[in-house]
Every structure is written in structure tokens, then in C-alpha cells.
Amino acid sequence: MTIRELYETSENKTLSPSAVRSSESKGRKIAIPECDIRTCFQRDVDRITHSKAFRRLMRKTQVFLRPEGDHYRTRLTHTLEVSRIARTMARALRLNEDLVEAMALAHDLGHTPFGHAGEYALNEVVPGGFQHNVQGVRVLERIENNGSGLNLCKEVLEGVLCHTGPLEASTLEGKLLKFADRIAYINHDIDDALRAGILKPSDIPRHLSGLLGEKYQQRIDTMVHDVILNSGETEISMSSEIGSAMNELRDFMFERVYRNPVAKSEESKAIDMLRKLYEYYVALPESLPSEYRHLAEEDGVERAVCDYIAGMTDSYAVSRFRDLFIPKGWSFVEAERNKND
């Protein structure tokens, strides 16, 4: 037996009856030979981790736009925290940890620069609107690997699509990801807001701190334990008490942080900037990089421009805007060079 086959045999013995077995995956859009070492979901973890879209997450906003500090979360650190929380819960529930990891690592690949401000900007101008989960699937299927996509397993793609919003995954692993994402961002966004001085510990409602925990680690521990204890063979869920408290804490964050004019004071500039970039490239698609010009020919200019802007990092978007719209200072050296030419 190969190493992969041994691992698949182990899954059959150790995983919950409701877990997805690697050997029973629904497969890929394009069939490929099996690896002798890795299961199909382990291969997907590697494909995602080595992708360009994954590397760009390190320079994309989580909550605070381009913060001056080394310890604020980025979209990449958020992704890693979601992965760890999801894997912990999957292991305890005897679900497929490799599938959960692949979903978690890929779940935010469709996010724009400047966080939800960028998503709002594109949603306003792109025909049909913009949703980062839908864009994430497009990144994985259509944009990555020079337009060929990563050819991931169908279960992974479904988990990315269903990690937010009303859609619900058909697998327990996909349902678990939605909880892991919410547990991660609510708690690490509180941590960042405290670091930024937007919140004080005493601002968090006392009844929520008393129930969920005073500290970041305590709240995560409470929520993770609650999911594990209240999930079964057919459903991933929280108790009504902890679930209601988590949702109330989320509402508190929307009121005090996500819509806070101090924390979000620069977002209107980011929105205007992305709108202008979108309008510029739609009017001049020949200015797009070659891989996006190719997408424009096949999928339409507006779709390709959306893909290009959504894939930008914060710093790259600012750089493109500066180059296109901010006048450059006159250079004597450049003038002399032009005269000599």
C-alpha cells in the first residue's frame, strides 16, 4: 500500500461516520492521477498555500486599514487563526481535518484590498454585485495558475462558497468552517480594537464577559468547547445561550468598531480610490496586465477589471492609483535625458 492508501485506511477507522473520507471525495473538475503520498485534500492544502492569491493575503486589510503596528491582524493572520480553530474543532469531532484546513486556508482568497470597504466599493460598480465568497471560488477555479485554476476538490470549493451568508455547505466540515470564521474574527477584532484604543476592556458588556470570558483566549475557549459539546453526527451547532451571546458580541462589534467613524475614517477614501481604478480600467482595458486582458476577451471587460482590482493588495492598489491619478513632479534629470534622446 502507498502512504496515501494507508492514510485513507486510517480515516475509515478513526473518522466519524458523518465525516468526509478522502477516498470518497466527489473529485475535481479535471481528473488527475492520485498522489502516492498525499490524500486529495492534503494536495489541496498544498495547492492553496503555494498560490499567489494566498501570499497576497499578508498585505490585505482585516479591519484596520494599513495599520502602523506589527501586531494587528491582516487577512493572512486571520486565515491562519481560522484554520487553527477549525482544525481543533474538527479533530475533537472526528471530522476530516485536512478538508477543514483546505477550506479554511482558501476561504478569504476572494477578499478585496481594504477589507469590507473594498467589497462595498466593487459591489456598487460591478454588474451583478460583488461577494467575496463567490469571488473566492472564481479565484480558485478561473484566475489562479495563469487562468487554469487550482483544480481543487468540489468539497473544498463548496466550503469556500458557503463560509458566509445564507448558503449552507452539505458537509459537516463546511458547516464547521462558518463557526470557526465567526469565532476567529469576533475575538481577534476585539483584541485589535483594544490594541488600537478603540475599545477598553470595560466597554464589553459585563454579562457577555461573565458568560464568555474576560480575555481573548477565554472567549475562544468557551466558544470552541460549546461547538464541540453541542454538535452531533448530523449537525454543527452551538448552545442557544452561547450562540446568542456570540451574536450579541458580534452586534456590539458592528456598533462600536466596524462602523466606528474613528476606526473607519479612511474607508471613504479607499472606496473612492477603488471606484476610480475600476472606471479607469473599464474605459482602457488595454492597460490591464496580460493575464487579465486574456480574461477580458473571454469573460468580459467588467469581469476582468473586477478580478484585477479584487486581487490587489492594499499597497498595490495605492501604488496603481498614485501612478494613474497623482501628478509626478518635474525632474530635471528626466528632462535632460529626453533632450539628449
What is the mean pLDDT of the segment spanning 33-55?
Answer: 98
Interacting residues of 169 by C-beta distance below 8 A, sequence separation 6+: 158, 159, 162, 163, 175, 177, 178
Q: Under 8 Å CB-to-CB from 170, ≥6 apart: which residues?
A: 158
* pLDDT for the residue numbered 340: 61
Q: How far apart are CA 277 and CA 293, in angstroms?
A: 16
Q: What is the C-alpha to C-alpha distance for residues 78 and 76, in angstroms, rounded to an integer?
A: 5
Distance CA(324)–CA(240), nearest Å, equals 52
Looking at residue 136, what is its pLDDT? 98
> Does the pLDDT at position 47 exceed 80?
yes
Give the max Cα distance, the chain.
77
Torsions phi, psi for 28 (to 5 deg): -110, 165
List, for residues 197-235, the tens digit of each pLDDT value: 999 999 999 999 999 999 999 999 999 999 999 999 999
Q: What is the pLDDT of residue 334?
A: 59
234-282 per-position pLDDT tens digit: 999 999 999 999 999 999 999 999 988 876 778 999 999 999 999 999 9
What domains appear along the chain, each with residue ranges and CATH number?
37-324 (1.10.3210.10)
Average pLDDT value for the chain: 95
CA–CA distance, 103 with 82 (Å, rounded to integer):
10
- Residue identified by cell 477555479 is 141
Q: Say if CB 105 and CB 48 are below 8 A apart.
A: yes
pLDDT average, residue stretch 310-328? 96
Long-range interactions of 129-135: CB distance < 8 A, separation 24+? 130/306, 130/310, 131/165, 132/108, 132/164, 132/310, 133/107, 133/160, 133/161, 133/162, 133/163, 133/164, 133/165, 133/167, 134/110, 134/161, 135/110, 135/111, 135/306, 135/307, 135/310
Mean pLDDT for 53-57 is 98
Cα 12 from Cα 31, distance rounded (Å): 23
How far is residue 236's CA from residue 58's CA, in Å, rounded to a whole number? 30
Return the ∠ at Cα 47 (arms to 189 and 60), rounded to 5°: 30
Nearest residue to 164 (alpha-carbon basis) of 178, 153, 185? 178
The closest alpha carbon to 190, from 165, 211, 208, belongs to 208
The pTM of this model reads: 0.94
- Quote the pLDDT of residue 265: 76
